[in-house]
């Protein structure tokens, strides 16, 4: 991958922040100029309301929104653009599904102990208010998904299997196609949190058997405040909207409201048109780089970083020892140091920017008696020099502060 050429597309690398080592893309990626230019065109040339007015500016917005929806549908391998719902985040998409399904007291939802709070807290709420039952697949010492434990956890009372495709702590992925096949054999619905998977690997939601698939656009070089949800059309038709109002209904009277068909029924209210248009541009950019190339680049940088830190006293890496099993993510701790201190020192000493804390996956850390971890995450604009700076700085910090 020609990182130097790719960096030409990212203004942040040509700003006053020269020399930065940004390794926090699992939280939020940088955006290329192509995405920002697409959004600016909306504000500059047709800053109107799509889907409502019929004048030429509004029509242009509607066309651009439709094109963006088509791009996301192709990106995910959906059967039709109408199976794509634009949301403000992956979190909203997951909440929309969890709270829009016709679940009832006693139904069981099966998740893992590696779920982001976005795929954990909604089910906790429904456990409390609706009487849902929860069941978990726990992560073994290997850090890899335990397929046998999953099989043992499945039963006819499991109505929903809702899992993170790629988790944001160790970067390991669930074998989702096999999981979906087993879940469907039991009559369960499959919901996947693709926030960390969609930016890094080739996807086809029909092939893997996802009934719903949520993604976070700001993790794939798109605008902040944007997410998307794929849902099989027959399921979207029966799903209740999370938010209702203008733009989501065909006709209302004083007694009733008729919902529009999907996806419009889920997109009530004025939409983030610039964000939707920017989402289409982000998909274009990511596909121009190539998902296979992205995955290989991530793995190569992770392997280099892992090798450099493997024998550093006081440094422990979370998850499987094989870096390819961890994708773009390298989470670690330095003995005797809090993860926040590690992150602040790396930034102060060498402008190395990583994430720290519990990363919204609190149950994983609580169960293991950990206060959190430091997390480096690699992406297309990172190179070997970034890895060298990161690893050498971690080594220096560990040698000075590790207990």
Q: Which pLDDT does position 281 carry in this prediction?
A: 98
- Cα–chain center distance at 381: 18
The answer on 298 and 257 residing in a single domain is no
Q: Which residues contact 85 (CB under 8 A, 6 or more apart)?
A: 93, 96, 228, 229, 230, 231, 236, 262, 263, 266, 267
The answer on 259 and 151 residing in a single domain is yes
Are the beta carbons of 355 and 321 closer than 8 angstroms?
Answer: no
Q: Is 207 contained in some domain?
A: yes
For the chain, what is the domain count? 2
Of 316, 355, 320, 321, which Cα lies nearest the Cα of 333?
316
Q: Is 171 contained in some domain?
A: yes
Q: Which residues contact 148 (CB under 8 A, 6 or more apart)?
A: none
Q: Is 73 contained in some domain?
A: yes
- Bridge-based pairing of strands 227-231 and 84-87 is antiparallel
Q: Could you say which of 288, 318, 340 is where a domain stops?
A: 288
The answer on 70 and 9 residing in a single domain is no
The answer on 294 and 281 residing in a single domain is no
- DSSP structure string for 120-172: THHHHHHHHHT--EEEEEPP-TT-S--HHHHHHH--TTEEEEEEESB-SSS--
The answer on 363 and 260 residing in a single domain is no
Are the beta carbons of 143 and 118 closer than 8 angstroms?
Answer: no
The answer on 250 and 157 residing in a single domain is yes
- Cβ neighbour number for residue 395 with a 10 Å cutoff: 18
Domain membership of residue 71 as a residue range: 46-288
- Cβ neighbour number for residue 347 with a 10 Å cutoff: 15
Q: Which pLDDT does position 208 carry in this prediction?
A: 98
Q: Is 37 contained in some domain?
A: no
Q: Is 34 contained in some domain?
A: no
Q: Which of the residues 27, 49, 90, 360 is marked catalytic?
A: 360
The answer on 353 and 321 residing in a single domain is yes
What is the domain-level CATH number for residue 326?
Answer: 3.90.1150.10
- Cα–chain center distance at 30: 15
Q: Is 170 contained in some domain?
A: yes
Buried b (16+ CB within 10 A) or exposed e, 29-67: bbbbeebbebbebbeeebebebbeeeeeebebbbebbee
Q: Is 39 contained in some domain?
A: no
Tell me if residue 360 is catalytic: yes
How many Cα neighbours within 13 Å face the side chain of 242?
Answer: 17
Q: Could you say which of 239, 271, 288 is where a domain stops?
A: 288
Are the beta carbons of 184 and 209 closer than 8 angstroms?
Answer: yes
pTM, to two decimals: 0.97
How many Cα neighbours within 13 Å face the side chain of 34?
Answer: 15
**Successive 10-residue mean pLDDT values, the chain, 403 residues:** 96 84 98 98 97 93 98 98 98 98 96 98 97 96 95 97 98 98 98 98 97 98 98 97 94 94 96 98 98 98 97 96 96 97 97 97 95 98 98 96 78
Cis ω before 96 (30° cut-off from 0): no
Return the SS3 of 352. Answer: strand
Q: Is 373 contained in some domain?
A: yes
Q: Which pLDDT does position 403 carry in this prediction?
A: 67
């Amino acid at each position: 991958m020609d990182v130097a050429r790719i960096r030409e597309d990212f203004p942040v690398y040509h700003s006053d922040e020269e020399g930065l080592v940004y390794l926090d893309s699992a939280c939020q990626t940088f955006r290329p100029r192509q995405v920002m230019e697409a959004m600016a065109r909306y504000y500059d040339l047709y800053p109107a309301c799509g889907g409502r007015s019929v004048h030429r500016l509004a029509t242009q917005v509607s066309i651009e929104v439709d094109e963006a929806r088509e791009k996301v549908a192709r990106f995910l391998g959906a059967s039709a653009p109408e199976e794509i719902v634009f949301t403000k985040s992956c979190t909203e998409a997951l909440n929309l599904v969890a709270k829009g399904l016709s679940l009832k007291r006693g139904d069981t939802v099966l998740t893992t102990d590696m779920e982001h709070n976005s795929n954990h807290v909604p089910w906790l709420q429904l456990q409390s208010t609706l009487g849902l039952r929860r069941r978990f697949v726990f992560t073994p010492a290997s850090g890899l998904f335990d397929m046998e434990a999953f099989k043992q956890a499945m039963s006819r009372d499991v109505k929903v299997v809702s899992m993170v495709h790629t988790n944001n702590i160790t970067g390991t992925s669930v074998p989702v196609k096999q999981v979906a096949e087993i879940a469907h054999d039991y009559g369960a619905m499959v919901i996947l949190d693709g926030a960390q998977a969609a930016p890094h690997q080739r996807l086809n939601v029909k092939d893997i058997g996802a009934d719903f698939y949520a993604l976070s656009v700001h993790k794939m070089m798109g605008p902040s405040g944007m997410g998307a949800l794929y849902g099989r059309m027959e399921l979207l038709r029966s799903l209740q909207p999370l938010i209702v109002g203008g733009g989501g209904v065909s006709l209302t009277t004083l007694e009733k409201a008729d919902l529009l068909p999907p996806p419009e029924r889920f997109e009530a209210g004025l939409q983030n048109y610039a964000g939707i248009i920017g989402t289409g541009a982000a998909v274009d950019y990511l596909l121009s780089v190539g998902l296979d190339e992205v995955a290989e680049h991530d793995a190569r940088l992770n392997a280099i970083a892992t090798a450099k830190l493997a024998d550093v006293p006081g440094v422990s890496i979370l998850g499987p020892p094989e870096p390819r099993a961890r994708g773009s993510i390298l989470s670690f701790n330095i003995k005797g140091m809090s993860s926040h201190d590690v992150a602040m020192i790396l930034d102060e000493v060498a402008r190395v920017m990583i994430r720290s804390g519990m990363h919204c996956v609190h149950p994983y850390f609580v169960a293991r008696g950990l206060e959190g971890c430091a997390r480096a995450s690699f992406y297309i604009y990172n190179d070997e020099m970034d890895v060298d700076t990161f690893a050498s700085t971690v080594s220096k910090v560990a040698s000075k502060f590790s207990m």
